[in-house]
Structure 1
């Protein structure tokens, strides 16, 4: 991009320069203005120098300013072009097919075998919250799961089924309260579908599922249930309050039915998780209205597993864990909650604290009808998800059977399906920087506006089409009237020549027809005559330092300055190379990751801008010295003409080298000038590539607390801890369902410390671990490791054989919080997990940041180019160091002065009738020395 832009801009400058020079020659203006305009096109340095000269002799302020502005805008476009386009990464989606597993379905015609399996696996419900990922389950919906776990980043639209639970109130009457087997029982009479039932005493914040009726369930709660309008659903008022201190005075009965909602959603192919916002239509409810159950729409059972009435059978099963009681313990009989009721109560946030406090201090919450429906929906979805995705272990599958039937249990299958996934792969693409695009666009528009005056096509043929040395000498030789336009100037300093050239003339001679030639040139009436021009004080004798004669020391200083500037350029690249080998000392310059793009563009623009300005200065210095050397050397006029014209730009240099094929006047030096400008072009390309801003991982040290091996909790009784251990032993058959990320702290036969907080992009760190070395001999088993804290306190080594149990009792696996708080299996105070030993560890965390980066290729290429540039500059600047007149360029006024003082130079061009470049170059093949040794003149003065 930069190379193309540089070449294209060089071509634009070349074309515009030729048009502008023709335009300047045709204008009726002063010779000084024409001189300044033509000389300004030699480069930005020359343009700035001529603009500065307007302060002393303001001959062409607007002209030089517009040319300087034009070349300055070219520099601006040079700076913005490298930062205009950048390469950024993006994700490109490609479609492909992927297999999915959906909802569970019947595996065979004997549904009782699957029912027996489901009764076994539903006991996993209290443990489900230990899973980090329940892929395929979201709230009250089941969605298809991608089978391939290595799909990479992308998305896929999958099918889903939501469980819509609709509840209505069931009106009833408490007809009497009587003793049944020594316990108070409340008889409630209902209309259909059930007639009457007896209920034992219970306390606040309790919800229980009573029975299943025709693809629906009947449940009741001791709490108030309101709809979205705050209305109650006709609760049953009790003749005699129940519960601790008679705190329950009414029961709310509900009858709920299930229907299926067919949905679609989008899953991430990498995590395989559902995007919650994509699930449509939603089965989650945000409002509700109370209605009698028989006024609600009824749904019949379907033939599928999830559409059958098996859900209601499971919700009303007698599966209990004998953990949490539901009555107020006033009698010897105790009724316990089922696993399903414990899960439902925890979903609703019910906390029956009266179970442990034995008092009526429980804060009763008001339940909303749609929250009950959503919780039942989540419960049903969780049960069917467990049935399809959780297995109790291979031994149970192979040899397990229903305790009441002699046949083997059968696992349901998952519905196989396929979907189209849009897999995202990282690619790179071009990205436009709008800021630099706007600057470049503005500069291009201004560039066009400044060039408009040069586009005017003349209606006549120009006599000459260029402004080289030979062209100007030809004009002097064939149009003697031009000679009188410039008075005699004995001291050709830039200031004296520009003062003398303040005469109006139209230098480019126009030929409306080939036969006639017209010269338009006149002086201002107020201007001095040639004879007394310098006698009026306008051209005073200069001091020694202003004579236009440079001693050898001054010439040597010019050359030394030029070479020093080139050596500085080499030194800069060597410093950058040393920075890269330091190693990469530039990496200490760090930016926030969000500034990577903007800082990269700014650094590129600054480097390009500084490089462009510095290289323009180098060209200006070498150009001046080289032109001076050409004038001092004894060579043909054509060679001097070619060498001076080649410095007008890369395009002119290419054209000059091309012309050497026809007349080889200055092959070596024009090739050197072309090589110099080409190397400058290479440096223009390498400078924007020197620096980039790259992303990297920045490391910081963090102190993270750790959890280690379990220790006894001295604040509770030993029985509480043993009760927790006994309860968690029930998880052993399910531990194979945990993923590796869910078994942190457990590795084969060892426990290791786990970090208290997750540290994204953290580096590996060392932690402590404890291994279990169990040795058995005969009937005795003992533990050899002495660091097991529980084993050294009381003898439970026998139950620790196998680390999965040790990992479970260490607090990594827990049942529902209600079971831990209110279980009275062994202790009425509930169970208590062991405490985990605490510690800390230093973790090295990586985070994305941006830093400055040097390109070794760009630095190396730039170093080679800088050395080559210095060598070419030394060759071009070689020449005599004798005292000589030093022209600050080779403008039209300088040529006019040379013609005045060396009229014999133009004699060779007298026979050229048609001043085309080829004819003039052929006629100029005579050897001359335009500027000689001025020692004699200096001595005489």
Structure 2
């Protein structure tokens, strides 16, 4: 017996009065619990209705379009799945609480109303699930005991099921591309031409280029093939940026009418009418490539004009048209001393002078702001497979001469050979790439 029962029994001395008082207290306690559950149930249902009204207003006004999040192509699907799973989990828990409260209140109301036992059976059975509710509604056609109540239970459970199905699609991320103009800090990929002065020593860097070029998985931000492009210093912004890109291209051609002097180891290269240029040109052996220094032989201190690109001396065979062979081929005498013999034999070999002029084309490149990878590869036209004759060119752009100077070999004892004799393979150069 509870404390309330003892108090009431002490007030009402007769047994039947004590029994009535206990029933009255139990009724009051049950009614109080039902009122609390009813209030909670109404609040939760009201919050759900208000939430969907707000969603409808947002849908009509398109206010949700004002909320934008920065996603990348890599995590777009991940965050969409997280949003869908979160909505489904929220609705599952929320509707489970609503179903529990509504079911308890409905069954309590049915018991308090003192309805028929068949009605209690049908209503309580309908709350077992949507299938059971539909089955009870169908049975009402034979024994109509509580058609309206079981139909209401079926409709309520069907609404809960619809929320379960549609909850994951109420809110979705819609991807779109937008462009905006803003200023960000960048690292220049191609410096101003004036920065290439006579003090620049690219020769220290050049010998390592063949080795670096063969390294796998090497990250080269700002360099893509022969394109140098600006890189973005910040990675907190998702998207693409338009930056300056500089593509370096080359065009090689045979230099005609070159006069070679074996006594002075120089080559006289025609440069316009009555304007020859003198270059260092040591005697080569067969199957060799020698990169000629760009500084003029007769005036080493002169830097203007300078050689446009790289000048090569090639003593290997080239597929050249016979009609132009006499114009581009230079005869050199190669003194050869066989191993174990004291006799020196002179051989006449053909040497070709080739100039590869360099040019830089400025374009716009698209860069991923988070990885600094170039997204728009620069098209490079393929050179002709036939050798052509070019006039010797000079340039006032010092960067071209600096590259030629860095690649140049000091004399004919260094260069690239192709006859496969390990004894003649010397210091490698970038020219073999």
TM-score (structure 2 length as normaliser): 0.45
TM-score (structure 1 length as normaliser): 0.24
Structure with higher Rg: it is 1
Select the structure that is richer in strand: 1
